[in-house]
């Protein structure tokens, strides 16, 4: 009763821990979604803010220069002076175009007087609306460009003319109308915007890195929790095995001796009995006591700790011994053996228990079939020793396949349900793994894989 209560308590604790873990993971997912949305939103706002900063700065410069031109007029040295002033920091260059595309002013005086057909300038002069775009200079630098429409009223007569460089390099004096539409081009370095973008990128990377670290820690925490859960399950199994071992020891002590006495007296009386009915009854007693002896033996094997005693032997010789042990069962004609002659280092006795149990199960599955057969294969492949037992019996449903290794589970009328449980326990003790699958054409395939060692 106490063991049952302890198990229920441990199961309840495991359920609570699973619930807390699921809640923590749900909160982590929610936090990650919020953090990603927040990070992406901040990044987009930063990008838009950097562009807006350039636009506002460029418009401010264009408007101020427009006022300056109306006050001072068109002077060739005006734009070079403005570019060098700290008032207009981050200014790459300035240019003033008239309606026919002639450059009236430029921060580079050598370009003054040139006529260019720039589609952006034409569009601004035609629509009377500012236009923003990025452009790449001859140096390869990327700049932010504003083309801004201006309508200037130039009242000062001296401001109505400007100097330009002719094709022969001489200065030419040209007249500018007193009132005319112009386009001023303001080109800004993108350093401030790039700084904002870099900060936004850094913040986004920092958020992503933090989430990755957080999820990495969560992954390791979940793995640790799973290992802890497996360890607790293993401890529970060991406790159960210890309890079963104590019970098996008591059974072996309390049942085996009376069984031996019952079987001995029954055998003696069966040999001397003249009455056939009495002899038949005594034989039944003998067989049933043998079955009870096998049950107590299986209980001891299942409950006893598996201590390995590895020796070197040939698989070919081992299969001959298997065939010899199957002779008393009268099933050798149904079993086909195919074994390689490799040398292995394993616990021979436990391997024999595994093989005999698997083969006996397969033989029982095909016993009622006329052309039933069992195939045993033991070979070395890819650094592993593969043991395969196949039968062409009726097979097992998927629901039963999941339970077949549980102790005391059996589909036989006289089975103990410990045969395959013992197989699973021995396979685990020998660092192997066992798998069950449906055989093509009907039947069952039991495959056991062990690590191969040729020397002990």
Reply yes or no on whether the pLDDT at 114 is more than 90.
Answer: no
- Tell me what pLDDT residue 225 has: 83
Tokens (6 digits) for 126: 């035609």
Average pLDDT over residues 172-194: 75
Tokens (6 digits) for 269: 């009386």
Q: Whose CA is closest to 57, among 153, 154, 258, 196?
A: 196
- Distance between CA atoms of residues 71 and 65, nearest Å: 10
Reply yes or no on whether the pLDDT at 86 is more than 80.
Answer: no
Top-confidence residue, 158 or 331: 331
- Tell me what pLDDT residue 324 has: 85
Residue 448 pLDDT level (bands cut at 50, 70, 90): very high
Average pLDDT over residues 126-140: 90
Residue 404 pLDDT level (bands cut at 50, 70, 90): confident
pTM (2 d.p.): 0.47
Reply yes or no on whether the pLDDT at 17 is more than 80.
Answer: no
Sign of CA dihedral 99, 100, 106, 112: negative
- Tell me what pLDDT residue 76 has: 77
Q: Whose CA is closest to 331, among 286, 376, 295?
A: 376
- Tell me what pLDDT residue 1 has: 44
Which pLDDT tens digit goes with each residue over 417-445?
Answer: 777 888 888 888 889 999 988 888 788 89
- Tell me what pLDDT residue 389 has: 92
Reply yes or no on whether the pLDDT at 364 is more than 90.
Answer: no
Q: For the domain made up of 308-451, give the CATH fold.
A: Heat Shock Protein 90 (3.30.565)
Residue 157 pLDDT level (bands cut at 50, 70, 90): very low
Reply yes or no on whether the pLDDT at 449 is more than 90.
Answer: yes
154 near 74, Cβ under 8 Å? yes
Q: How many CA atoms lie within 13 A of 203 on its CB side?
A: 19
- Tell me what pLDDT residue 145 has: 93
* Strand order across the 179-189 sheet: 103-106, 91-97, 179-189, 142-153, 131-136
338 near 374, Cβ under 8 Å? no
Average pLDDT over residues 151-159: 59
> Which residue has 């038949």 as its token pair?
280
Domain boundaries of the chain, sorted by first residue: 53-189, 308-451
Q: How far is CA 247 from CA 240, 244, 262, in A?
A: 10, 5, 22
Reply yes or no on whether the pLDDT at 144 is more than 90.
Answer: yes
Which pLDDT tens digit goes with each residue over 232-267?
Answer: 877 877 777 677 667 766 766 677 778 888 888 888
Top-confidence residue, 268 or 407: 268
Which pLDDT tens digit goes with each residue over 388-403?
Answer: 999 888 888 777 777 7
Among 3.10.20.30, 3.40.50.10490, 1.10.10.10, 3.30.450.20, name the CATH number for the domain at 53-189.
Answer: 3.30.450.20
Reply yes or no on whether the pLDDT at 382 is more than 60.
Answer: yes
Reply yes or no on whether the pLDDT at 142 is more than 70.
Answer: yes
402 near 278, Cβ under 8 Å? no
- Tell me what pLDDT residue 88 has: 74
Classify burial at 129, counting beta carbons within 10 Å of its beta carbon; exposed 0-12, middle 13-18, buried 19 or more: exposed
Average pLDDT over residues 372-400: 87
- Distance between CA atoms of residues 359 and 444, nearest Å: 12
Average pLDDT over residues 37-54: 85
Residue 230 pLDDT level (bands cut at 50, 70, 90): confident
Q: Enumerate residues 6+ apart whose C-beta is below 8 A from 405.
A: 420, 421, 423, 424, 434
Residue 101 pLDDT level (bands cut at 50, 70, 90): confident
- Tell me what pLDDT residue 173 has: 44
152 near 69, Cβ under 8 Å? yes
Top-confidence residue, 292 or 413: 292
Reply yes or no on whether the pLDDT at 74 is more than 90.
Answer: no
- Tell me what pLDDT residue 187 has: 92
Residue 51 pLDDT level (bands cut at 50, 70, 90): confident
Q: How many CA atoms lie within 13 A of 453 on its CB side?
A: 12
Tokens (6 digits) for 337: 């053996």
- Tell me what pLDDT residue 132 has: 93
Q: What are the respective helix, strand and coil percentages of the chain, to the nearest 5?
A: 55, 20, 20
Average pLDDT for the chain: 80
Top-confidence residue, 379 or 75: 379
């Amino acid at each position: 009763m106490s063991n049952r209560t302890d198990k229920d308590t441990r199961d309840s604790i495991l359920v609570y821990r699973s619930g807390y873990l699921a809640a923590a993971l749900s909160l982590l997912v929610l936090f990650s979604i919020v953090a990603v949305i927040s990070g992406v939103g901040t990044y987009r706002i930063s990008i838009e803010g950097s562009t807006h900063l350039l636009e506002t700065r460029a418009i401010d410069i264009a408007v101020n220069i427009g006022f300056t031109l109306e006050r001072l007029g068109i002077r060739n040295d005006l734009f070079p002076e403005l570019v060098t002033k700290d008032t207009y920091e981050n200014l790459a260059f300035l240019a003033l175009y008239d309606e026919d595309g002639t450059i009236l002013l430029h921060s580079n005086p050598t370009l003054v007087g040139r006529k260019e057909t720039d589609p952006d300038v034409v569009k601004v002069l035609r629509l009377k609306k500012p236009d923003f775009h990025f452009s790449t200079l001859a140096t390869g630098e990327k700049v932010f460009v504003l083309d801004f429409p201006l309508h200037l009223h130039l009242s000062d007569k001296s401001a109505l003319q400007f100097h330009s460089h002719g094709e022969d390099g001489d200065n030419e004096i040209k007249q500018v109308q007193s009132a005319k539409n112009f386009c001023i081009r303001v080109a800004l370095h993108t350093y401030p915007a790039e700084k904002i973008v870099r900060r936004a990128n850094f913040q986004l990377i920092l958020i992503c890195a933090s989430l990755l670290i957080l999820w990495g820690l969560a992954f390791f925490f979940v793995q640790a929790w799973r290992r802890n859960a497996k360890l607790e399950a293993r401890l529970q199994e060991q406790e159960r095995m210890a309890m079963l071992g104590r019970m098996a020891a008591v059974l072996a002590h309390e049942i085996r001796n009376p069984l031996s006495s019952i079987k001995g007296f029954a055998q003696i009386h069966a040999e001397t009995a003249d009455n056939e009915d009495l002899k038949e009854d005594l034989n039944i007693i003998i067989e049933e006591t043998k079955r009870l002896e096998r049950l107590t033996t299986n209980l001891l094997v299942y409950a006893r700790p598996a201590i390995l005693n590895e020796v070197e032997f040939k698989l070919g010789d081992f299969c001959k011994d298997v065939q010899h042990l199957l002779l008393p069962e009268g099933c050798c004609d149904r079993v086909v053996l195919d074994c390689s002659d490799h040398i292995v280092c394993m616990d021979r006795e436990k391997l024999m228990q595994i093989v005999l149990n698997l083969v006996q199960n397969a033989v029982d599955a095909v016993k009622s079939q006329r052309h039933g057969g069992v195939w045993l294969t033991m070979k070395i492949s890819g650094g592993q020793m593969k043991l395969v037992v196949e039968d062409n019996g009726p097979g097992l449903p998927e629901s039963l396949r999941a339970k077949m290794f549980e102790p005391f589970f059996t589909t036989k009328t006289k089975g103990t349900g410990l045969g395959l449980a013992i197989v699973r326990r021995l396979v685990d003790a020998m660092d192997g793994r066992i798998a069950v699958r449906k055989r093509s054409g009907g039947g069952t395939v039991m495959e056991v894989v062990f690590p191969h060692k040729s020397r002990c």
